[in-house]
Protein backbone atom coordinates (compact mmCIF):
# COMPACT_ATOMS: atom_id res chain seq x y z
CA UNK A 1 0.00 0.00 0.00
CA UNK A 2 1.32 3.44 -0.92
CA UNK A 3 1.63 5.57 2.20
CA UNK A 4 -0.50 8.56 1.32
CA UNK A 5 0.30 12.10 2.37
CA UNK A 6 -2.06 13.97 4.68
CA UNK A 7 -3.05 17.56 4.06
CA UNK A 8 -2.02 20.28 6.49
CA UNK A 9 -5.53 20.47 7.93
CA UNK A 10 -5.75 16.71 8.40
CA UNK A 11 -2.55 16.83 10.46
CA UNK A 12 -3.89 19.92 12.25
CA UNK A 13 -7.15 18.18 13.21
CA UNK A 14 -5.19 15.12 14.32
CA UNK A 15 -3.44 17.18 16.99
CA UNK A 16 -5.89 20.02 17.70
CA UNK A 17 -7.15 18.48 20.94
CA UNK A 18 -3.56 18.73 22.19
CA UNK A 19 -4.14 22.49 22.41
CA UNK A 20 -6.74 21.99 25.14
CA UNK A 21 -4.79 19.25 26.91
CA UNK A 22 -1.73 21.48 27.00
CA UNK A 23 -3.70 24.34 28.59
CA UNK A 24 -4.43 21.99 31.48
CA UNK A 25 -0.79 20.85 31.60
CA UNK A 26 0.44 24.47 31.54
CA UNK A 27 -1.85 25.44 34.41
CA UNK A 28 -0.51 22.50 36.38
CA UNK A 29 3.18 23.12 35.63
CA UNK A 30 3.05 26.88 36.28
CA UNK A 31 0.92 26.76 39.43
CA UNK A 32 1.63 23.56 41.38
CA UNK A 33 4.58 24.99 43.32
CA UNK A 34 2.61 28.19 43.88
CA UNK A 35 -0.45 26.28 45.12
CA UNK A 36 1.45 24.04 47.53
CA UNK A 37 3.65 26.89 48.78
CA UNK A 38 0.45 28.86 49.43
CA UNK A 39 -0.98 25.88 51.31
CA UNK A 40 2.11 25.90 53.55
CA UNK A 41 4.81 23.69 51.98
CA UNK A 42 8.48 24.34 52.84
CA UNK A 43 10.66 25.36 49.81
CA UNK A 44 13.06 22.46 50.50
CA UNK A 45 10.10 20.06 50.21
CA UNK A 46 8.58 21.55 47.06
CA UNK A 47 10.32 19.16 44.70
CA UNK A 48 8.69 16.20 46.47
CA UNK A 49 5.26 17.39 45.29
CA UNK A 50 6.57 16.99 41.74
CA UNK A 51 7.18 13.25 42.15
CA UNK A 52 3.51 12.34 41.66
CA UNK A 53 2.98 13.79 38.15
CA UNK A 54 5.81 11.91 36.41
CA UNK A 55 5.22 8.80 38.53
CA UNK A 56 1.64 8.61 37.34
CA UNK A 57 2.75 9.28 33.79
CA UNK A 58 5.26 6.44 33.96
CA UNK A 59 2.53 4.06 35.11
CA UNK A 60 -0.34 5.28 32.94
CA UNK A 61 1.22 5.95 29.55
CA UNK A 62 2.76 2.50 28.91
CA UNK A 63 -0.58 0.94 29.90
CA UNK A 64 -2.53 3.28 27.62
CA UNK A 65 -0.10 2.48 24.81
CA UNK A 66 -0.35 -1.28 25.30
CA UNK A 67 -4.12 -1.33 25.78
CA UNK A 68 -4.80 0.95 22.84
CA UNK A 69 -2.58 -1.18 20.58
CA UNK A 70 -5.13 -3.95 21.23
CA UNK A 71 -8.24 -1.77 21.03
CA UNK A 72 -10.37 -1.71 17.90
CA UNK A 73 -13.91 -0.46 18.47
CA UNK A 74 -16.57 1.77 16.95
CA UNK A 75 -15.05 4.88 18.61
CA UNK A 76 -11.55 4.17 17.30
CA UNK A 77 -8.32 2.78 18.62
CA UNK A 78 -6.75 5.64 20.60
CA UNK A 79 -9.76 7.96 20.98
CA UNK A 80 -11.57 6.05 23.78
CA UNK A 81 -8.60 6.70 26.09
CA UNK A 82 -8.50 10.31 24.97
CA UNK A 83 -12.16 10.83 25.92
CA UNK A 84 -11.82 9.15 29.30
CA UNK A 85 -8.71 11.09 30.25
CA UNK A 86 -10.24 14.42 29.23
CA UNK A 87 -13.44 13.84 31.22
CA UNK A 88 -11.56 12.99 34.42
CA UNK A 89 -9.19 15.95 33.94
CA UNK A 90 -12.10 18.37 33.63
CA UNK A 91 -13.63 17.13 36.88
CA UNK A 92 -10.36 17.28 38.81
CA UNK A 93 -9.50 20.78 37.55
CA UNK A 94 -12.60 22.02 39.35
CA UNK A 95 -11.35 20.65 42.70
CA UNK A 96 -7.55 21.02 42.83
CA UNK A 97 -7.24 24.83 43.21
CA UNK A 98 -9.92 24.77 45.93
CA UNK A 99 -7.81 22.63 48.28
CA UNK A 100 -7.29 25.60 50.61
CA UNK A 101 -10.90 26.77 50.50
CA UNK A 102 -12.62 23.76 52.09
CA UNK A 103 -11.97 24.59 55.75
CA UNK A 104 -9.39 21.79 56.11
CA UNK A 105 -6.28 21.84 58.29
CA UNK A 106 -2.98 22.62 56.54
CA UNK A 107 -2.02 18.93 56.56
CA UNK A 108 -5.41 17.80 55.26
CA UNK A 109 -5.49 20.53 52.60
CA UNK A 110 -2.10 19.43 51.27
CA UNK A 111 -3.17 15.78 51.35
CA UNK A 112 -6.34 16.62 49.43
CA UNK A 113 -4.26 18.65 46.97
CA UNK A 114 -1.89 15.72 46.47
CA UNK A 115 -4.74 13.33 45.69
CA UNK A 116 -6.18 15.81 43.19
CA UNK A 117 -2.75 16.34 41.65
CA UNK A 118 -2.32 12.58 41.24
CA UNK A 119 -5.71 12.28 39.52
CA UNK A 120 -5.09 15.34 37.37
CA UNK A 121 -1.77 14.12 36.07
CA UNK A 122 -3.12 10.61 35.52
CA UNK A 123 -5.96 11.98 33.41
CA UNK A 124 -3.77 14.47 31.52
CA UNK A 125 -1.35 11.67 30.66
CA UNK A 126 -4.23 9.48 29.50
CA UNK A 127 -5.52 12.29 27.29
CA UNK A 128 -2.10 13.37 26.00
CA UNK A 129 -0.60 10.06 24.86
CA UNK A 130 -3.24 9.19 22.21
CA UNK A 131 -2.32 12.29 20.19
CA UNK A 132 1.31 11.15 19.89
CA UNK A 133 0.15 7.65 18.99
CA UNK A 134 -2.32 8.80 16.34
CA UNK A 135 0.45 10.68 14.53
CA UNK A 136 2.60 7.53 14.68
CA UNK A 137 -0.36 5.48 13.40
CA UNK A 138 -1.61 7.68 10.58
CA UNK A 139 1.30 9.76 9.24
CA UNK A 140 3.95 8.40 6.88
CA UNK A 141 7.66 8.62 7.64
CA UNK A 142 8.25 11.57 5.31
CA UNK A 143 5.61 13.73 7.02
CA UNK A 144 6.17 12.76 10.66
CA UNK A 145 8.60 15.58 11.44
CA UNK A 146 6.07 18.06 10.02
CA UNK A 147 3.15 16.43 11.86
CA UNK A 148 4.98 16.49 15.19
CA UNK A 149 6.01 20.11 14.51
CA UNK A 150 2.31 20.99 14.06
CA UNK A 151 1.62 19.17 17.32
CA UNK A 152 4.46 21.15 18.93
CA UNK A 153 2.95 24.40 17.61
CA UNK A 154 -0.48 23.57 19.07
CA UNK A 155 1.14 22.40 22.28
CA UNK A 156 3.00 25.68 22.70
CA UNK A 157 -0.06 27.73 21.77
CA UNK A 158 -2.02 25.91 24.48
CA UNK A 159 0.82 26.51 26.92
CA UNK A 160 0.79 30.20 26.06
CA UNK A 161 -2.91 30.48 26.90
CA UNK A 162 -2.69 28.40 30.08
CA UNK A 163 0.35 30.24 31.42
CA UNK A 164 -1.23 33.67 30.90
CA UNK A 165 -4.64 32.94 32.43
CA UNK A 166 -3.80 33.95 36.05
CA UNK A 167 -2.08 37.15 34.87
CA UNK A 168 -5.03 38.04 32.60
CA UNK A 169 -7.61 37.38 35.31
CA UNK A 170 -5.64 39.54 37.75
CA UNK A 171 -5.43 42.28 35.11
CA UNK A 172 -9.21 42.33 34.61
CA UNK A 173 -9.75 42.73 38.35
CA UNK A 174 -10.12 39.23 39.81
CA UNK A 175 -8.41 38.99 43.19
CA UNK A 176 -4.82 37.78 43.15
CA UNK A 177 -4.47 37.66 46.95
CA UNK A 178 -6.30 35.52 49.49
CA UNK A 179 -6.14 34.67 53.19
CA UNK A 180 -3.15 32.58 54.29
CA UNK A 181 -3.45 29.01 53.03
CA UNK A 182 -6.07 29.86 50.37
CA UNK A 183 -5.37 29.91 46.63
CA UNK A 184 -6.33 33.25 44.97
CA UNK A 185 -9.44 33.45 42.76
CA UNK A 186 -7.30 34.36 39.73
CA UNK A 187 -5.79 30.86 39.85
CA UNK A 188 -9.07 29.09 40.63
CA UNK A 189 -10.90 30.71 37.69
CA UNK A 190 -7.97 29.87 35.40
CA UNK A 191 -8.48 26.18 36.11
CA UNK A 192 -12.24 26.46 35.49
CA UNK A 193 -11.84 28.10 32.08
CA UNK A 194 -9.00 25.75 31.15
CA UNK A 195 -11.22 22.74 31.86
CA UNK A 196 -13.95 24.07 29.56
CA UNK A 197 -11.51 24.65 26.68
CA UNK A 198 -9.96 21.20 27.18
CA UNK A 199 -13.18 19.29 26.66
CA UNK A 200 -14.20 21.37 23.62
CA UNK A 201 -10.86 20.81 21.88
CA UNK A 202 -10.90 17.07 22.53
CA UNK A 203 -14.42 16.80 21.15
CA UNK A 204 -13.28 18.67 18.02
CA UNK A 205 -10.51 16.19 17.31
CA UNK A 206 -12.88 13.31 18.05
CA UNK A 207 -15.38 14.65 15.51
CA UNK A 208 -12.89 15.41 12.72
CA UNK A 209 -10.52 12.42 12.88
CA UNK A 210 -11.40 8.90 11.73
CA UNK A 211 -8.84 6.31 12.79
CA UNK A 212 -7.88 3.44 10.48
CA UNK A 213 -9.58 0.07 10.78
CA UNK A 214 -7.37 -3.01 11.39
CA UNK A 215 -7.12 -3.94 7.71
CA UNK A 216 -6.19 -0.44 6.59
CA UNK A 217 -3.72 -0.04 9.47
CA UNK A 218 -2.01 -3.35 8.70
CA UNK A 219 -1.65 -2.43 5.03
CA UNK A 220 -0.35 1.07 5.87
CA UNK A 221 2.37 -0.31 8.17
CA UNK A 222 3.20 -3.39 6.12
CA UNK A 223 1.87 -5.84 8.73
CA UNK A 224 -0.26 -8.95 8.45
CA UNK A 225 -3.80 -8.15 9.54
CA UNK A 226 -3.93 -11.29 11.66
CA UNK A 227 -0.85 -10.38 13.69
CA UNK A 228 -2.21 -6.89 14.21
CA UNK A 229 -5.56 -8.03 15.52
CA UNK A 230 -4.53 -11.15 17.44
CA UNK A 231 -4.16 -9.90 21.00
CA UNK A 232 -2.56 -13.10 22.20
CA UNK A 233 0.45 -12.57 19.95
CA UNK A 234 1.25 -9.13 21.35
CA UNK A 235 4.60 -9.15 23.21
CA UNK A 236 4.69 -7.92 26.79
CA UNK A 237 6.19 -4.60 27.85
CA UNK A 238 9.32 -6.25 29.29
CA UNK A 239 9.91 -8.17 26.05
CA UNK A 240 9.51 -4.99 24.02
CA UNK A 241 11.89 -3.15 26.33
CA UNK A 242 14.55 -5.85 26.01
CA UNK A 243 14.28 -5.71 22.21
CA UNK A 244 14.01 -1.93 21.91
CA UNK A 245 16.10 -0.36 19.13
CA UNK A 246 19.32 1.41 20.11
CA UNK A 247 17.75 4.75 19.29
CA UNK A 248 15.25 4.21 22.13
CA UNK A 249 18.05 4.24 24.72
CA UNK A 250 20.18 6.87 23.00
CA UNK A 251 17.33 9.35 22.74
CA UNK A 252 16.35 8.35 26.28
CA UNK A 253 19.72 9.61 27.59
CA UNK A 254 19.09 13.00 25.99
CA UNK A 255 15.61 12.95 27.49
CA UNK A 256 17.07 12.34 30.96
CA UNK A 257 19.15 15.53 30.98
CA UNK A 258 16.39 17.54 29.28
CA UNK A 259 13.56 16.66 31.66
CA UNK A 260 15.70 17.11 34.78
CA UNK A 261 16.20 20.69 33.60
CA UNK A 262 12.53 21.46 33.06
CA UNK A 263 11.42 19.82 36.31
CA UNK A 264 13.66 22.28 38.16
CA UNK A 265 12.28 25.17 36.09
CA UNK A 266 8.70 24.30 37.05
CA UNK A 267 9.64 23.77 40.69
CA UNK A 268 11.90 26.72 41.44
CA UNK A 269 11.12 29.58 39.03
CA UNK A 270 8.39 30.99 41.29
CA UNK A 271 10.54 31.09 44.42
CA UNK A 272 13.63 32.10 42.46
CA UNK A 273 12.21 35.22 40.86
CA UNK A 274 10.27 36.11 44.03
CA UNK A 275 13.65 36.26 45.78
CA UNK A 276 15.70 37.95 43.05
CA UNK A 277 13.14 40.29 41.49
CA UNK A 278 10.56 40.97 44.24
CA UNK A 279 12.88 40.40 47.21
CA UNK A 280 10.46 38.25 49.21
CA UNK A 281 10.08 34.69 50.47
CA UNK A 282 6.71 35.34 52.21
CA UNK A 283 4.24 33.16 50.31
CA UNK A 284 1.21 35.10 51.57
CA UNK A 285 2.60 38.48 50.44
CA UNK A 286 1.35 40.38 47.42
CA UNK A 287 4.91 40.31 46.05
CA UNK A 288 5.09 36.51 46.08
CA UNK A 289 1.71 36.20 44.35
CA UNK A 290 2.77 38.84 41.81
CA UNK A 291 5.85 36.73 41.15
CA UNK A 292 3.51 33.76 40.67
CA UNK A 293 1.62 35.67 37.97
CA UNK A 294 4.92 36.71 36.37
CA UNK A 295 5.99 33.06 36.22
CA UNK A 296 2.99 32.53 33.96
CA UNK A 297 4.12 35.43 31.77
CA UNK A 298 7.67 34.06 31.58
CA UNK A 299 6.42 30.59 30.72
CA UNK A 300 4.22 32.21 28.05
CA UNK A 301 7.32 33.93 26.65
CA UNK A 302 8.95 30.50 26.63
CA UNK A 303 5.96 29.19 24.66
CA UNK A 304 6.32 32.05 22.13
CA UNK A 305 9.99 31.22 21.79
CA UNK A 306 9.02 27.59 21.21
CA UNK A 307 6.49 28.51 18.53
CA UNK A 308 9.02 30.69 16.69
CA UNK A 309 11.81 28.14 17.01
CA UNK A 310 9.52 25.33 15.83
CA UNK A 311 9.36 27.22 12.52
CA UNK A 312 13.16 27.33 12.36
CA UNK A 313 13.79 23.67 13.22
CA UNK A 314 12.66 22.27 9.82
CA UNK A 315 15.34 24.46 8.16
CA UNK A 316 18.11 22.35 9.72
CA UNK A 317 19.16 19.77 7.13
CA UNK A 318 20.45 17.52 9.90
CA UNK A 319 17.83 16.77 12.58
CA UNK A 320 20.45 15.98 15.23
CA UNK A 321 22.25 19.30 14.67
CA UNK A 322 18.98 21.18 15.12
CA UNK A 323 18.24 19.16 18.25
CA UNK A 324 21.67 19.85 19.81
CA UNK A 325 21.70 23.56 18.95
CA UNK A 326 18.24 23.94 20.49
CA UNK A 327 19.32 22.36 23.78
CA UNK A 328 22.45 24.54 23.94
CA UNK A 329 20.34 27.68 23.52
CA UNK A 330 17.96 26.46 26.22
CA UNK A 331 20.83 25.72 28.60
CA UNK A 332 22.28 29.21 28.15
CA UNK A 333 18.82 30.65 28.81
CA UNK A 334 18.57 28.81 32.14
CA UNK A 335 22.04 29.87 33.27
CA UNK A 336 21.40 33.52 32.39
CA UNK A 337 18.47 33.77 34.85
CA UNK A 338 20.92 33.93 37.77
CA UNK A 339 22.58 37.03 36.27
CA UNK A 340 19.41 39.04 35.60
CA UNK A 341 17.59 41.19 38.16
CA UNK A 342 15.04 42.89 35.92
CA UNK A 343 11.74 41.13 35.32
CA UNK A 344 11.57 42.19 31.66
CA UNK A 345 15.13 41.16 30.78
CA UNK A 346 14.12 37.66 31.85
CA UNK A 347 12.16 37.55 28.58
CA UNK A 348 15.48 36.91 26.80
CA UNK A 349 16.25 33.96 29.07
CA UNK A 350 12.86 32.36 28.54
CA UNK A 351 12.87 32.89 24.78
CA UNK A 352 16.10 30.89 24.70
CA UNK A 353 14.61 28.25 27.00
CA UNK A 354 11.73 28.00 24.54
CA UNK A 355 14.17 26.88 21.83
CA UNK A 356 15.10 23.87 23.92
CA UNK A 357 11.47 23.11 24.68
CA UNK A 358 10.46 23.21 21.00
CA UNK A 359 13.06 20.60 20.14
CA UNK A 360 12.10 18.41 23.11
CA UNK A 361 8.48 18.29 21.96
CA UNK A 362 9.15 17.32 18.36
CA UNK A 363 12.59 15.82 17.75
CA UNK A 364 12.56 12.78 20.11
CA UNK A 365 9.28 11.43 18.74
CA UNK A 366 10.21 12.06 15.11
CA UNK A 367 13.55 10.27 15.58
CA UNK A 368 12.05 7.39 17.54
CA UNK A 369 8.96 6.62 15.45
CA UNK A 370 11.10 6.44 12.33
CA UNK A 371 13.09 3.69 14.09
CA UNK A 372 10.03 1.60 14.98
CA UNK A 373 7.77 -0.80 13.13
CA UNK A 374 4.04 -0.18 13.43
CA UNK A 375 3.11 -3.39 15.26
CA UNK A 376 3.81 -2.06 18.76
CA UNK A 377 3.96 1.67 18.11
CA UNK A 378 1.66 2.62 20.99
CA UNK A 379 3.41 0.37 23.49
CA UNK A 380 6.84 1.73 22.58
CA UNK A 381 5.63 5.32 22.78
CA UNK A 382 4.12 4.54 26.17
CA UNK A 383 7.41 3.01 27.33
CA UNK A 384 9.29 5.96 25.88
CA UNK A 385 7.27 8.20 28.16
CA UNK A 386 9.31 6.67 31.00
CA UNK A 387 12.28 8.60 29.61
CA UNK A 388 10.23 11.71 30.38
CA UNK A 389 8.89 10.62 33.75
CA UNK A 390 11.82 8.81 35.40
CA UNK A 391 14.22 11.77 35.09
CA UNK A 392 11.64 14.02 36.74
CA UNK A 393 11.18 11.57 39.62
CA UNK A 394 14.94 11.38 40.18
CA UNK A 395 15.26 15.17 39.94
CA UNK A 396 12.39 15.64 42.41
CA UNK A 397 13.92 13.21 44.91
CA UNK A 398 17.28 14.98 44.97
CA UNK A 399 15.96 18.53 44.48
CA UNK A 400 15.96 19.44 48.19
CA UNK A 401 19.52 18.15 48.61
CA UNK A 402 20.75 20.10 45.58
CA UNK A 403 19.00 23.22 46.86
CA UNK A 404 21.02 22.96 50.08
CA UNK A 405 24.24 22.44 48.10
CA UNK A 406 23.67 25.67 46.14
CA UNK A 407 23.08 27.64 49.33
CA UNK A 408 19.29 27.50 49.48
CA UNK A 409 18.92 29.99 46.60
CA UNK A 410 16.14 28.74 44.35
CA UNK A 411 17.44 30.73 41.36
CA UNK A 412 20.63 28.61 41.44
CA UNK A 413 18.54 25.54 40.72
CA UNK A 414 17.90 27.08 37.29
CA UNK A 415 21.67 27.17 36.74
CA UNK A 416 21.71 23.45 37.59
CA UNK A 417 18.96 23.06 34.98
CA UNK A 418 21.09 24.87 32.39
CA UNK A 419 24.08 22.60 32.96
CA UNK A 420 21.82 19.55 32.61
CA UNK A 421 20.47 20.79 29.28
CA UNK A 422 24.00 21.35 27.96
CA UNK A 423 24.84 17.74 28.87
CA UNK A 424 21.74 16.71 26.91
CA UNK A 425 23.08 18.53 23.86
CA UNK A 426 26.32 16.52 24.10
CA UNK A 427 24.32 13.27 24.33
CA UNK A 428 22.51 14.05 21.04
CA UNK A 429 25.74 13.21 19.18
CA UNK A 430 25.36 9.52 20.08
CA UNK A 431 21.89 9.03 18.55
CA UNK A 432 21.70 6.51 15.69
CA UNK A 433 18.36 5.87 14.00
CA UNK A 434 17.68 2.78 11.93
CA UNK A 435 14.34 1.11 11.19
CA UNK A 436 13.63 -1.78 13.55
Say how far apart CA 400 and CA 397 lie, in whole Å.
7
Q: What is the pLDDT of residue 231?
A: 47
Burial 272-300 (b: 16+ CB within 10 A, else e): bbbbbbbebeebbeeebbbbbbbbbbbbb
Phi-psi region of 244 (alpha: psi -120 to 50; beta: other; left: phi over 0): beta
Hey, what domains does the chain have and what are their CATH numbers? 8-222+239-428 (1.20.1250.20)
- Give the whole-angstrom CA distance, residue 397 versus residue 82: 30
| Residue 412, pLDDT score | 95
Burial 21-52 (b: 16+ CB within 10 A, else e): bbbbbbbbbbbbbbbbbbbbbebeebbbbbbb
- Taking the C-alpha atoms of residue 436 and residue 418, their distance in angstroms, rounded to an integer, is 33
Backbone conformation region of residue 193, classed left if phi is above 0, alpha if psi is from -120 to 50, else beta: alpha
Residue 73 φ/ψ, nearest 5 degrees = -145, 180
pLDDT for residue 228: 47
User: Which residues does 152 contact at the CB level (< 8 Å), separation at least 6?
Assistant: 306, 310, 358, 361, 362
pLDDT along the chain (436 residues), means of 10: 78 91 89 85 81 78 76 80 90 89 84 86 84 82 80 84 92 88 90 95 90 78 57 61 78 94 93 91 84 91 89 86 95 96 96 94 78 64 80 92 93 96 94 64
User: Under 8 Å CB-to-CB from 351, ≥6 apart: which residues?
Assistant: 301, 302, 304, 305, 308, 333
* pLDDT recorded at residue 110: 86
Other Cβ atoms less than 10 A from the Cβ of 72: the count is: 16
Amino acid sequence: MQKRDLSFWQMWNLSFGFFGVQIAYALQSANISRIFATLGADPHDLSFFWILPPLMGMIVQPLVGTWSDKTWCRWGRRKPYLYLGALVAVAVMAFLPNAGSLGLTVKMAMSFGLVMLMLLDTSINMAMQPFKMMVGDMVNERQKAKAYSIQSLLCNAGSLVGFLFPYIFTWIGISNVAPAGVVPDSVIYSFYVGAAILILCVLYTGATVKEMDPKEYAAFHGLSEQSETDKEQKPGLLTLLLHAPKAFWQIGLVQFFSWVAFLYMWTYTNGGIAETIWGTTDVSSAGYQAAGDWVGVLFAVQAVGSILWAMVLPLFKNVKVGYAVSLVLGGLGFISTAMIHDQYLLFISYLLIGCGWAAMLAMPFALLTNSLSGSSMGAYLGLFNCTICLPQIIAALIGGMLLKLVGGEQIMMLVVAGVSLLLGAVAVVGIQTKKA
